[in-house]
Structures are given as C-alpha cells and as structure tokens.
Structure 1
Amino acid sequence: MPSSEPTLCLVTGATGYIGGRLVPELLAAGHRVRVMTRNPDRIRDHPWAGQVEVARADATDAAQVAAACAGVDVVYYLIHALGAGPEFEETDRRTARVMADAARTAGVGRLVYLGALRPQDEELSPHLRSRTEVADILLASGVPTAVLRAAMVLGSGSASFEMLRYLTERLPVMVTPRWVHSRIQPIAVRDVLRYLVGSAGLPAEVNRCFDVGGPDVMNYAEMMQRYAEVAALPRRRILPVPLFSPSLSSHWVGLITPVPAGIARPLVESLRNTVVCGEHDIAEHVPDPPEGLLGFDEAVELAVQRVRDSAVATRWASASVPGAPSDPLPTDPDWAGGSLYVDDRTRSTSADPAAVWRVVEGIGGERGWYSFPLAWRVRGLLDRAVGGVGLRRGRRDPDRLYAGDALDFWRVEELERGRLLRLRAEMRVPGLAWLEFHVEHDSADGGQGTTTLRQRATFAPHGLAGHAYWWTVAAFHGIVFGGMIKGIAGAAERRG
C-alpha cells in the first residue's frame, strides 16, 4: 500500500447499516474514501457526502466494479442480498465472485468483509451458509482478506437488534420457539466499526477469519429480559413452545415487528444456531480499548438513549447529525430506530410570518390551544387525577416563551424565535411526547408570498401500554391537531 499518502478505501454497501456508519469513521482515521453505489442520489443525505468520491456501479457488473476498484488500497465488502428473496444465496455468490476478480485484477492490497460467526457441528441456516460461502470466495481471491465474523450487532438500525427491540417492547408475554435458548455473543456497533477501521492496517500476510464479539454470552430470552430492564419495562414473560418452527416464527415476527419479512425470515432461521466466538485473535492486531469492549447493557443504553434524551430529529426542523454510531441515521430504513408515531400537518396562510409566530409563541395558558377546549380541559383533569401536573401551571409570561419554561403540561424544549417551537410533554403518558411548530415564509412568487405553518406531534411509546394509548387517542387527532393548526392560522390572519 502507498505510504506517502492516505490509504484509499472503497466502501461497498455504503447506504447500508454498517457502511453508512463506517465511512465517517474511516474519514476520521485519516483515510480517503470512495463509495460504490448503484444510485448516487442515495448518498446525498449522508453528512459525509461531500467528503468522499462516488463510484456508480452495480455489484453484479464486472466492468463497473473493476472501475470502482481502480487505484484502491482497501476494499470493504459490505454487500448482502438479505431481503432480495429466496435467491439471495445465488446473488451473494455472484457478487462476491465479481468483487474477488475485480480486486485481484486491480491490485487491491486488502479485502475486508463483515461476515457472520460460524457455529461448529450444526446445520447452518441459509443466511449463515451464504455468509460463510462469501467469506470463502474472498479468502480464495488471491487478495489478502480479513473476514470479521460477528453475531448480532447492537445498535439502532441493525435489523437483528430492531427485531429484539420490537419484540421486547411490544410483547409483555411471548410464546416463543426453542431458539430463544440458543447462545449468542452480540457486539456493539461501536466495537465492530473499530475492528473494521483497524483492519485496513493489517499486515499483508494476514489472510484469515477473525471472530469478533462483545464480553457477554447469553440466549435470546436473556437478551429480551435485559433489554426490558435497560428500557425500564416490566419483566417479560417468555413461554417456549418446542413445536414452534422457524418458518412459523418468521411469520410471527412479521406480524409483531415492522422489519420486512424478507429480512426477518432468514434472520429468525439463523437464531437456531449457536453463534459464540471461538477465539479473539483480532486483539493481536487491533487491541481492545483501555476501557474494554462494550457490554450488552451499555450497548442497548446507547441505542435507546437518543429517544430517551428527546433528540428526535425531524425532516423539516433541527435535524441533527448523529453523535455516535449507535444513533439512528436519516437514511436508515423507516422501521429502524424503534416505534415513533407521528401526526404531521401543514397549512399555508396569507398572514405574515411574524403574525403566525406571535400566535404560536402565545399558545396555551389563558389563550388555550385553539381547538376543542373541552378535550384539553378533560385531558388536564385526567392528568391531575393520576398525579400529573395538568393544565394548572399555565404560562410564566402571556406573550414570550423561553427554553425551559413550563407551559401547561408541556415544557419548552427548544425555541428559535420566529421559526421553531418544540414542546416536550410532562403529562403522565406511557411514553415520550413532543409537539413542534415551525414557521416558514415563501416569497418565491416575487410578491408578499405565503407563510407555511408546520405542526408535528410525535410519540415514542413505552411498552405495549404506549402503543395502546396512541391508538386509543388517534381517533381524536383530526379534531384536536387538525383544529389546532387551522385555529392558529386563523388567529394569525385575524390579527394581521
């Protein structure tokens, strides 16, 4: 590899879960990065998009993959056809061979592949069988290859972790198949990324598999109980049923969780296998951090704290760049990151933005909430009846709000005067709730233009009670939230 300039790394699967998080880690380590994607538009929303080269290539097209590999020192092969249907094994086989040939011809110095732990003396599931075959193809390519074999990756957005999250949060009582007792050694996404980045500097003679896992070995039932404990949920009741086949299990998971069936099915089938590390040789080349590898509880805490800390990003206001690999990314699938119910409404008005903002900032207290006053009073009384604050706090100032102010049973969490107001609920609800208002002005027509008011109610449920609560009150959202945005716009127009 060249020593006079930074290593050029090609990351395939850059729009996927691991790839999207690996790119900024490589950049932070001083590497140059090229990403390979069939559709460059999908790179656009990543915060690192302007710092990388982009190679348009289909992983099955030999010529395009060869062009993407030209001049590259290290290739990160993160392509898996999981979710592509029953033919995913053949697709994985074909794309791995294309990459092996292209990397060898281009003189790539190293291949790095994130595969799966291989159980000993057990029949492999199709998913694990395909991961093992891909590893063998790359190891036989003639290019020095490092295969990192991992079990469940713990982090928001990981399909296997999201399955665990949804099953635990939504089912206080679970009838489960035998695979809940299979032993698993999960690993935090932070530690996986650390091993991947470190693999770029492996000696040229290293051509082998490395088992990577966290410090905890447990079965799936134990993981669900420990997840519940970290997420402050009641202890789950788990009732194993020996005749519950993997096929039936995958349909059951499809009913309970939003993880697509094409992804859930092969993952569920893999849960029958024991996936525990047989060695920790990777530490000879990439030493463990001084504080040690993240344990299961710490990794889960990181994965769930983004919502717990109320850092709920929106598409149209205060969206933030994740601060840790365990955080969700804007490009993660819709089903990643846990349940989040949203009521999103938009209304255009002829009132000027200042008039709309005055109404927004003056909401609550004596002025009320501009819709169905009786419903708000009843909700306040119910909250007080269960020990909440109700509507009795009102407002500190009738016209001005400041971050941290109490506002009836809300708290001002964020305020950008003239533009954004975000309220966090302090009423008693089985979850976390926010109400956000955003004022925009559009003068593209060259005249006075129009003002757009966006209103967004967000609810992160806590356990089954949270889901039940949302769907119980959902029938009133049209009246309460629909009336609110209409009432605010109308009040602004009258004042104007």
Structure 2
Amino acid sequence: MKNILVTGATGYIGGRLITRLIDKGYNVTCLVRDKRRVLGRWPEAKVVEGDVHKFDSLTTALKDIDIAYYLIHSMSSGEHNFVDLDEKAAENFSLKAKTAGVKRIIYLGGLGSKSDELSPHLRSRQATGEKLRSSGISVTEFRAGMIVGSGSLSFEMVRYLTERVPIMICPKWVSTKTQPIAIRDVLRYLIDTIEKPESENMILEIGSPDILTYADLMLTYAKIRGLKRYMINVPFLTPRLSSYWVDLVTPIPSNIARPIIEGLKNESVCSDDRARKIFPFEPISYEDAVTFALQRQKKGNVETIWSGSISSINSSNVINLDLLHREGMIIEKRERVINAPAHKVFEIVSKLGGKNGWYANFLWQTRGVIDRVFGGVGMRRGRRDKEKLMVGDPLDFWRVEAVETNQLIRLRAEMKLPGRAWLQFSLRQIDPGKSILTQIAFFEPKGLFGVIYWYSIYFVHKLVFSGMINDIKSKSESTLT
C-alpha cells in the first residue's frame, strides 16, 4: 500500500480525509505543528511534527512518502499577509517533497477564472498550486467552490445568515453564480485520484450539477428548513461592512469572513468537464448536500468543523504548557468527593458548553459578549459534538488542549485576556462508587494589568467556579439515582 502524507490534519478537510484513507488501508502520516492536538485521534496513523513555513522541519514527515496531500492555507493569519505566507509555504513544501522523492502532490484549491479580477483569496489559492508545481513534481490540483457539509466554513455562513436574519439586506455579491459541492464528493475525488494515474499533472474543476447564485443558496436552505426569508438588494455594502455583519450574526470572525466575501464577486463555476470524464460518478445536488449536512448536525455526528483548525485563530497566541511546572501562575483549585464512579463524572464534564450551557450560563454569555466587543471569538463557536470532546475542538471561547478518558480534560482560553488561562478537570477513582474531582483554573498574567484583572473579578470566579464544581457533583450523583 502507498505511503500517504496529509498536511492540514487538524483542518476541516484533512481531519475527514485521514479517517477515510485509513479505512482504505493506506499507510497514513499526519503532519501537525503539535502532536498533542491529535493525541489518540488516529491510532493507526503516524503523527509527525513539522511546519510548512519552516523548510527543515519537513524532512522527517516526507521521508518514504509516495503521495502528499497539501491542504493548508494561511488566510486567518491576517488580512494582509496570508498571500505571501501561502506562496512561501507551498514553495517550501514542493522543494522539500521533490528532494525527498515524493512522487505526487494532491492539492485542493479554489474555482475562479483568471480572466476575472480575482480576489486576493482566490488568487492566492491558484498561486499556491503554481508554487507546488514549480519544483517539477507531479501535482493534481482540484478546484472547488463552496463546500457544503456539516461544520464547513461556507455552509456555516449560509446557515447562520439564513437562520437568524428573516429580512436580509444583501450586497451585490448575492447575485454571483457559484457551483457548490458536497463534502462527501470532495473527499471522493481526493481519494479516488490516488488510483487514477490519468489525473496526474492536471487541474480539475469539480462541482455539483447545480449552478446557483448565493441568494439561491440561502433561499434553498430556507425552503429545506421551512423558513420564509426575504432579500433586499443594496449597492453600498462593501466587503468590510459585510464582514462585520457576518461577524455579528455568525460564528465567523471578520478577519476570516472578509477575504471570503471579497471572493464572492467572482463566479466560481466549472469551465470544463474533465473531472466528470476521469471520475465516473455523479456528484449530489446542492439540496441533497444541505439535507445531509443538517441530518448530521441533528444527530450530533459532525466529524470536523472549520474552527477546529489551529489556523482558525491567530496562531501567535497559541501555546501549550505543562501547567504545573510554570512559575508566575495564579492557581485557583477546588476539589469535591463525588459519590459516583469517575467515568460518570467524566461524562458530565465532557458535556459542558455549547448548547448544553455552563453553570451560571448568563454570566458566561455576558463574558462572551464582552469578548466580541474587544475583537475576540466570544461564545459563538459552540462545540463540535454535544457529548464528546476531542483534542483541538473549539468549545465556546475555549480550545480543548488535553483529553485523557475518565481522567482529565484541560481547556485553553482563546478569549481576549491580559495573559493566558486554562481550566482543568482531573479525576481520581477512590472506591468503586466514589471519585475525587479536582477543578483548577490557571492564569498566567501579563504584567501588572493582568494581575489587577484577575483579582478584580475574583468574586465572580468564586461564584462561577464553585457553583460549577458543585453542579457537576450534583449531576453526576443524580445519574445513579
């Protein structure tokens, strides 16, 4: 079997692709910046640390690899520099892959005609493909428009706008034509191309049978959901204003929304049918794709979401620490003996947040609103699954940093703070029907203001964190009655 490398393993596409490649029997290696973010997620895969922006860090990952998937973009690093970052990263990867003897790169880019004045985002997607080809290595580049699936960035934008806004004030881009495609079909193309040598060294455009406007996408979604929606077109909504509106109404922050919205002025429609000829299957319709996505969300069976990637936040703010070995930490610790086995308590802790809420949920929501006012993520991201947590999952304004089944869950704060913060729950079984839950809030203040911040809200923390651990105790014990 071929040795396959998947970059972007923590991303929306990469996370789903890895599972399917393993199921097909391929030898899969995942490239990540921090192994702890995928700990235990794919036991059958090899996990290697590396960074496409650091040339020498790719050596180990590319050793003995036959085919490499390139599923990385730097768009959320900032509105102005993601183009340069993307091109340099692709060039690094291509040169290193060529040197390592990799036979082929498979890349997922974006639809858009060069005859149009492409947005920076779409231009960057296509320039990335050119950089990957620059070393002379064989590249198969798939170009897709909006990808429709539970948790995908584009679909979440359409879903939230349609669900929350009955009368939509719409800019000109709602009349732009696009050819969406279901995530299941994207994954099928990406996997089937491995055994299709005739698809090597090709740019293949993929999409569903439907060519629709963005207004059609929202109205079709509304029809499936049984919603009545009305649209009023206005000419003066700029991409910047639109991105602020998306930021307000959806979980997508404006710095990510703006490059995408700028690209909505460009039609994303397939201009040739070579993909259909090489791959003899019929992609499903947009309406079916939406129906499947909604069904998966209703069942809570969402494999990956767009905000699960480390690139969905500013990576310069990300740090993983062995918390108990850092000086300068403010530590707030609480313990309770709970008359329930550790696995029952773990189940309760695992369900915190999202639509399940938190103890004193109003206070958490208020903190989320304050965070959004200051440009943070707020509470809008929710959670991927209503019952289970994986390392790397977003959880409201937290990120799941560590999960040890029936023993530990650690969350890292991603809200705006004058410092860094974590919330950890650890469990220890002391009798068959009794366990100890330890809840620790860690805060590493940044300067004097960080210290003042923490102690100024100490009484709120005391109320919330004491109430939270008591609530977990009560719910855990009630499961046994």
Quickly name the TM-score band, shorter chain normalised.
Answer: 0.5 to 0.7
> Hey, what does 1:42 align to over in structure 2?
37
> Hey, what does 2:92 align to over in structure 1?
98
Q: Of 262, 269, 293, which aligns to 1:269?
A: 262
Correspondence list, 1:182-193, <5 A: 182-193=176-187
Aligned length: 352
Contact 2:35 2:49 in 1 (8 A): yes
- Provide Cα deviations, 1:184-223, integer angstroms capped at 9, x if missing partner: 0000000000000112223278312100001111001110
Q: Distance in 1 between matches of 2:426 and 2:241?
A: 53
Contact 2:4 2:27 in 1 (8 A): yes
> Hey, what does 2:296 align to over in structure 1?
306
1:213 aligns with 2:207: yes
The DSSP-based 3-state class of the residue aligned with 1:215 is coil
1:161 aligns with 2:155: yes
Larger gyration radius, structure 1 or structure 2 = 1
Correspondence list, 1:101-116, <5 A: 101-116=95-110
Q: Distance in 1 between matches of 2:472 and 2:212?
A: 54
> Hey, what does 2:228 align to over in structure 1?
235
The residue type paired with residue 123 of structure 1 is E
> Hey, what does 1:178 align to over in structure 2?
172
Contact 1:146 1:209 in 2 (8 A): yes
The residue type paired with residue 303 of structure 1 is A
Aligned CA RMSD, in angstroms, stands at 3.6
1:140 aligns with 2:116: no
Q: Kindly tell me: are residues 231 and 327 of structure 1, through their superposed partners in 2, closer, same or farther at Cα, counting changes over 3 Å?
A: farther
> Hey, what does 2:111 align to over in structure 1?
117
> Hey, what does 1:225 align to over in structure 2?
219
The DSSP-based 3-state class of the residue aligned with 1:115 is strand
Correspondence list, 1:426-437, <5 A: none
How far is the alpha carbon of 1:285 from its aligned partner?
3.0
Contact 1:93 1:134 in 2 (8 A): yes
Q: Distance in 1 between matches of 2:429 and 2:340?
A: 15
Q: Kindly tell me: are residues 487 and 240 of structure 1, through their superposed partners in 2, closer, same or farther at Cα, counting changes over 3 Å?
A: closer
Q: Of 249, 255, 262, which aligns to 1:256?
A: 249
Contact 2:429 2:435 in 1 (8 A): no
Q: Distance in 2 between matches of 1:441 and 1:149?
A: 45
Q: Kindly tell me: are residues 330 and 50 of structure 1, through their superposed partners in 2, closer, same or farther at Cα, counting changes over 3 Å?
A: farther
Q: Distance in 2 between matches of 1:111 and 1:253?
A: 34
253-262 vs 165-174, which deviates more?
Answer: 253-262
With normalisation by structure 2, the TM-score equals 0.66
Unaligned runs of 5+ in 2: 313-333, 345-405, 407-424, 438-462
With normalisation by structure 1, the TM-score equals 0.64
Write out the 4+ residue segments of structure 1 that deviate beyond 6 Å after TM superposition. 485-488
Q: Of 7, 24, 27, which aligns to 1:12?
A: 7
Contact 2:140 2:199 in 1 (8 A): no
Q: Kindly tell me: are residues 235 and 71 of structure 1, through their superposed partners in 2, closer, same or farther at Cα, counting changes over 3 Å?
A: same
- Provide Cα deviations, 1:230-256, integer angstroms capped at 9, x if missing partner: 123x22111111121122111111111
Q: Distance in 1 between matches of 2:46 and 2:428?
A: 36
How far is the alpha carbon of 1:63 from its aligned partner?
1.5
Correspondence list, 1:10-89, <5 A: 10-44=5-39, 46=41, 49-85=42-78, 86-89=80-83
Q: Kindly tell me: are residues 142 and 330 of structure 1, through their superposed partners in 2, closer, same or farther at Cα, counting changes over 3 Å?
A: closer
- Provide Cα deviations, 1:360-392, integer angstroms capped at 9, x if missing partner: xxxxxxxxxxxxxxxxxxxxxxxxxxxxxxxxx
> Hey, what does 1:282 align to over in structure 2?
275
Contact 1:12 1:36 in 2 (8 A): yes
Contact 2:179 2:208 in 1 (8 A): yes
Q: Distance in 2 between matches of 1:212 and 1:203?
A: 18
Contact 2:199 2:278 in 1 (8 A): no
1:352 aligns with 2:352: no
Q: Distance in 2 between matches of 1:328 and 1:225?
A: 25
The answer to which structure has the higher helix fraction is 2
- Provide Cα deviations, 1:452-488, integer angstroms capped at 9, x if missing partner: 7xxxxxxxxxxxxxxxxxxxxxxxxx9xxx89x8699
Unaligned runs of 5+ in 1: 1-5, 312-321, 337-346, 358-418, 420-439, 453-477
Q: Kindly tell me: are residues 45 and 217 of structure 1, through their superposed partners in 2, closer, same or farther at Cα, counting changes over 3 Å?
A: farther
> Hey, what does 1:128 align to over in structure 2?
122
Q: Distance in 2 between matches of 1:97 and 1:487?
A: 50
How far is the alpha carbon of 1:328 from its aligned partner?
4.4
The residue type paired with residue 111 of structure 1 is I
How far is the alpha carbon of 1:257 from its aligned partner?
1.1
Correspondence list, 1:382-461, <5 A: 444-445=429-430, 449-450=434-435
Contact 1:214 1:293 in 2 (8 A): yes
Q: Distance in 1 between matches of 2:141 and 2:177?
A: 22
Q: Kindly tell me: are residues 193 and 133 of structure 1, through their superposed partners in 2, closer, same or farther at Cα, counting changes over 3 Å?
A: same
Q: Distance in 2 between matches of 1:27 and 1:100?
A: 24
Contact 2:208 2:286 in 1 (8 A): yes
Q: Distance in 2 between matches of 1:488 and 1:141?
A: 59
1:332 aligns with 2:308: yes
Q: Of 190, 195, 208, which aligns to 1:196?
A: 190
1:295 aligns with 2:285: yes
